[in-house]
């Protein structure tokens, strides 16, 4: 790509006239560049493509999986096993290492594609003017100074300053989040504007929705706004997932405990004159006992099952750990359009010239339901509004205008005709058709005779229709344009003079509606007996009769209010971040109850320069306490995420456009839209909403909390018996200098217990009241002090029971080392399996609780007991695991030692509920 010395250095092009732009770029806007000059500039500036950020190679990803302390310790144990001839133990440890490494490798490999979508956006053709001729070229060949020609449907290939338009409108939502296409102009702007307000600029990656335009290219490739965002995406790194941090810290602590015990035992053993092989074998046993080999497998499977369940609820999780991180989310930064709102404009308010205002309920589930305004169709003002809505309109409706299309067959949905045209005009047609279908049909049947399409300079459009008596002229447009073209005003059915004072009062009403966050159009009409001549088409929208104003709103989704209420109850802060107008954002915020009572007397919205000033000054109080940020740039979104993360918040960020990609990548959880999201947004995100609904985010958070609770539960389960194994080995090894449990036996037992019962705990339904609790503090470890107390208690009880049986067989029965080993193994194996019933909450019923109602627990126990006794009765497996044939007396001791811990623990839980 180009270096800094070759940039065009044209700043604030929107403040510069196109004549000055042409001079600065040494180009002729009537002819364009010559082919020779274009080739020269291509060498100077480079191709018009985005920088390719180099990702990690397959080998780098693989290497990252093996460079961690757990792998080192288990690898050392495997090597020692092979050196001392314990081939089965060495092979078993290697298998565990391979499984864990492959799971981690696959998960990270799929996350290495975040830039592919941006590259694909470059593969387009563009029409330019060179040597006075129009040419279609590869967009990568465009250079600064080229004259870009754009038409409806074109994807804009470079940043360019407009110098000619014909009804040009551009969808800039991928960059700005603006829900309505922007009407483009040619005049230089007089003051600094945010990205969404630069009406004379075309931006790379946006799309032309209507009209035609010509523009001078001034930035290509990485120098464009899209290039700046691409640079942010490539440069930003996501903080490590909280669950990863906590699991890594936990396993590192276990490693140090294991190494400490092994070192102490080695010192005592050498002083006592014991053989080095016995000491090494004990160290290997401790290594296997200390490390929950199945932990990453079970955590991954539990999270994967969470992914599957969420997929059924319209949430696609791309990264396993993201499920858990959702449960820790403390702040949700959400886009407005399409997430909190329906992304469908609706008629909200009608203000007629008799001072009558009609506010329409836009939150109805289906616009085919009749509104409650009960306006009489015979009312002159209202009838003219309906008539102008249909006649001064270039949009068309599809076969199905309702919002409820879920029941249609997929084939029918694909084949049906879609609504086509400007969103405001579609909203008008839908309103009239759904509320007054007879009038809609009547007006649609009238014959259009003349047409004046919308022009961004005039800001009006209109049409002439033939009626039984004369002609009807319908006009609509910006309030200032319609009032200037109106000579009379309709009051109580009579046409009266429209004085300048009255016009000023209507402009104030227009401003009031705009401050409410509504998009406003003015309506006017005229009746005439004579059809305007063809050469007078541009003049027939004069001397009109003013009818009133119409306000439009993108209504909130019905489920959003309840979802936000649930977030507040769960201690989660919801912040709206949008590129839209401050008034619109505030209006939506009020409708969805985003603001608390304490917010009512505060500044609810922060936007533009004020937002940047707060970020530059690190004004934490203002940033933390503002519920709505509007006119937000991509860099500001990123800065907001960073600010909240620095304050210790776990952030979730929703987005759909290219402008959202850096913040989506930086947030702890990036949430992209599935229906309207750009590919880059979906690529860099952690999860995708298939229905684009805010309610689905809340469902995902609830499920994330349940998943974390389940993960914590099975970790307590695993660590308690792993600690008991360490204590059993330590106690008996230090007192009798014999190894009560062999490494291969421990590996076999832990692979059973670590996977099946632990996995069953990990997929439980969880606590139904989980959303009534505040989020955990981000710094809270995966196991808190109370959890460690539980683990210690469980481990000690297990150790005392199993070691008691071992000592009893040693001192009372004087059994052989082999039989004592089998007593320790089978009593511990059964005790570990039934220990799963100790994982119930203390407040739950002893026999009816989350554990006993979990069918997977019973299935897991059946599998484990079957595997355990199969190993005992199959001679080949029994020989490898050093099993002996045991008589009834021995089995009686095993059963007592195995069941005693669950009886003791359940009794303690019953007596001391508050500690559990």
Query: So which residues are the catalytic ones?
Result: 335
Rounded CA-CA distance 907/550 in Å is 71
Rounded CA-CA distance 151/833 in Å is 70
Instruction: State the residue for tokens 């590129």.
Output: 579
Q: What angle do CA 778, 781, 782 make, to 5 degrees?
A: 105
Burial class (CB in 10 A: 0-12, 13-18, 19+), 884: middle
Phi, psi of 170 (to 5 degrees): -130, 135
- Written as six digits, the tokens of 511 are 């401003």
Phi, psi of 146 (to 5 degrees): -65, 150
CA distances from 853 to 467, 504, 722 (A): 73, 71, 25
- Written as six digits, the tokens of 539 are 């003049």
3-state secondary structure 543-556: CEEEEEEEEEECCE
Instruction: Please name which of 93, 94, 2, 13 lies closest in space to residue 48, comparing C-alpha atoms.
Output: 2
3-state secondary structure 285-335: HHHHHHCCCCHHHHHHHHHHHHHHHHHCCCEEECCCHHHHHHHHCCEEEEC
Q: What angle do CA 894, 897, 902 make, to 5 degrees?
A: 130
Rounded CA-CA distance 274/816 in Å is 19
CA distances from 764 to 296, 713, 759, 774, 854 (A): 18, 10, 9, 21, 6
Strands 605-607 and 628-630 turn out to be parallel
Strands 147-151 and 207-219 turn out to be antiparallel
Burial class (CB in 10 A: 0-12, 13-18, 19+), 342: buried
Q: Which helix (H) or strand (E) holds 461?
A: strand 460-466
Strands 687-689 and 669-673 turn out to be parallel
DSSP 158: S
Burial class (CB in 10 A: 0-12, 13-18, 19+), 818: exposed
C-beta separation of 38 from 146 below 8 A: yes
C-beta separation of 262 from 290 below 8 A: no
Residue 415 CB-half CA count within 13 A: 5
Strand partners, 165: 213
**What's the distance, Cα to Cα, between the start and end of the chain in Å?**
61
Burial class (CB in 10 A: 0-12, 13-18, 19+), 814: exposed
Helix (H, G, I), strand (E, B) or coil at 751: helix
The number of angstroms, rounded, from the C-alpha of 250 to the middle of its chain's C-alpha atoms is 28
Rounded CA-CA distance 459/184 in Å is 11
Q: How many Cβ atoms from other residues are within 10 Å of residue 145's Cβ?
A: 24
Q: Can you spell out the DSSP letters for 517-549?
A: T-EEEEEEEEEESSPPPGGGGGGSS-SEEEEEE
Strand partners, 130: 33, 133
């Amino acid at each position: 790509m180009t270096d800094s010395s070759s940039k065009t250095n044209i700043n604030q092009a929107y403040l510069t006239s196109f004549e000055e732009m042409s001079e600065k770029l040494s180009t002729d806007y009537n002819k364009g560049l010559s082919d020779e000059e274009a080739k020269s500039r291509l060498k100077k500036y480079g191709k018009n493509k985005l920088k390719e950020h180099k990702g990690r190679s397959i080998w780098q990803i693989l290497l990252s999986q093996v460079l961690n302390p757990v792998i080192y310790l288990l690898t050392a144990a495997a090597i020692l096993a092979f050196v001392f001839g314990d081939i089965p133990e060495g092979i078993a440890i290697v298998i565990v290492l391979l499984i864990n490494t492959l799971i981690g490798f696959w998960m990270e490999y799929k996350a290495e594609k975040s830039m592919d979508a941006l590259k694909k956006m470059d593969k387009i053709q563009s029409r330019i003017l060179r040597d006075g001729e129009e040419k279609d070229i590869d967009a990568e060949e465009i250079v600064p100074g080229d004259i870009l020609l754009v038409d409806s449907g074109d994807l804009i290939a470079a940043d360019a300053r407009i110098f000619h338009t014909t009804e040009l409108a551009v969808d800039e939502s991928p960059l700005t989040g603006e829900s309505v296409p922007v009407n483009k102009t040619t005049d230089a702007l007089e003051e600094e504007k945010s990205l969404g307000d630069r009406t004379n600029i075309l931006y790379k990656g946006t799309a032309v929705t209507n009209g035609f335009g010509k523009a001078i290219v001034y930035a290509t490739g990485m120098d464009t706004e899209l290039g700046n965002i691409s640079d942010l995406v490539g440069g930003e790194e996501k903080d490590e997932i909280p669950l990863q941090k906590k699991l890594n810290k936990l396993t590192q602590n276990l490693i140090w405990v294991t190494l400490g015990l092994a070192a102490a035992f080695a010192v005592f053993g050498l002083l006592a004159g014991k053989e080095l092989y016995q000491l090494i074998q004990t160290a290997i046993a401790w290594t296997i006992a200390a490390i929950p080999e199945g932990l990453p497998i079970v955590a991954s499977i539990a999270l994967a099952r969470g992914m599957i369940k969420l997929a059924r609820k319209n949430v696609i999780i791309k990264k396993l750990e993201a499920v858990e991180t959702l449960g820790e989310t403390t702040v949700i930064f959400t886009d407005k359009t399409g997430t909190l709102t329906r992304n469908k404009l609706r008629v909200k308010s009608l203000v007629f010239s008799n001072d009558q205002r009609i506010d329409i309920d836009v939150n109805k589930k289906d616009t085919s339901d009749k509104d409650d305004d009960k306006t009489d169709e015979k009312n002159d003002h209202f009838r003219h509004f309906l008539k102008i809505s249909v006649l001064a309109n270039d949009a068309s409706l599809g076969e199905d205008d309702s919002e409820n299309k879920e029941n249609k067959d997929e084939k029918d949905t694909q084949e049906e005709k879609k609504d086509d045209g400007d969103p405001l005009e579609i909203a008008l047609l839908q309103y009239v058709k759904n509320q007054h279908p007879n009038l809609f049909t009547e007006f649609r049947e009238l014959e259009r005779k003349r047409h004046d399409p919308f022009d961004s300079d005039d800001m009006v459009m209109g049409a002439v229709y033939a009626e039984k008596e004369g002609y009807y002229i319908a006009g609509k447009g910006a309030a200032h344009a319609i009032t200037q073209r109106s000579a009379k005003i309709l009051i109580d059915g009579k046409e009266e003079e429209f004085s300048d004072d009255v016009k000023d009062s209507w402009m104030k009403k227009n401003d009031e509606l705009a401050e409410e966050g509504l998009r406003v159009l003015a309506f006017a009409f005229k009746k005439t007996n004579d059809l305007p001549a063809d050469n007078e088409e541009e003049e027939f929208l004069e001397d009109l009769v003013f009818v009133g104003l119409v306000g439009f709103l993108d209504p909130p989704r019905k489920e959003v209010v309840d979802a936000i209420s649930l977030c507040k109850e769960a201690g989660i802060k919801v912040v709206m971040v949008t590129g839209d107008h401050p008034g619109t954002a505030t209006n939506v915020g009020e409708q969805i109850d985003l603001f608390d009572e304490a917010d009512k007397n505060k500044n609810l919205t922060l936007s533009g320069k004020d937002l940047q000033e707060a970020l530059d000054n690190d004004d934490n109080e203002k940033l933390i306490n503002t519920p709505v940020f509007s006119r937000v740039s991509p860099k500001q979104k990123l800065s907001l995420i960073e600010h909240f993360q620095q304050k210790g918040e776990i952030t979730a960020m929703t987005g759909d456009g290219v402008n959202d990609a850096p913040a989506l990548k930086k947030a702890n959880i990036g949430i992209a839209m599935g229906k309207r999201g750009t590919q880059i947004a979906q690529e860099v995100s952690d999860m995708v909403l298939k229905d684009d609904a805010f309610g689905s985010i809340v469902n995902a958070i609830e499920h994330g909390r349940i998943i974390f609770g389940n993960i914590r539960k099975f970790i307590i389960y695993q660590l308690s018996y792993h600690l008991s194994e360490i204590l059993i080995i330590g106690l008996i090894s230090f007192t009798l200098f014999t190894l009560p449990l062999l490494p291969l036996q421990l590996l076999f037992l832990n692979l059973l217990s670590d996977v099946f019962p632990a996995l069953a705990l990990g997929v439980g339904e969880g606590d139904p009241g989980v959303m009534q609790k505040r989020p955990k503090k981000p710094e809270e470890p995966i196991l808190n002090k109370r959890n460690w107390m539980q683990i210690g208690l469980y481990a000690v009880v297990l150790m005392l029971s199993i070691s008691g049986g071992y000592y009893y067989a040693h001192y009372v029965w004087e059994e052989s080392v082999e039989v004592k080993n089998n007593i320790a193994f089978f009593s511990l194996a059964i005790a570990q399996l039934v220990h799963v019933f100790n994982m119930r909450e203390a407040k739950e019923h002893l026999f009816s609780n989350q554990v006993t109602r979990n069918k997977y627990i019973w299935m897991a126990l059946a599998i484990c007991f079957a595997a355990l006794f199969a190993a005992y009765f199959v001679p080949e497996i029994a020989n490898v695991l050093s099993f002996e044939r045991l008589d009834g007396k021995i089995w009686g001791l095993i059963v007592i030692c195995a069941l005693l811990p669950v009886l003791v623990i359940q009794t303690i839980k019953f007596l001391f509920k508050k500690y559990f």
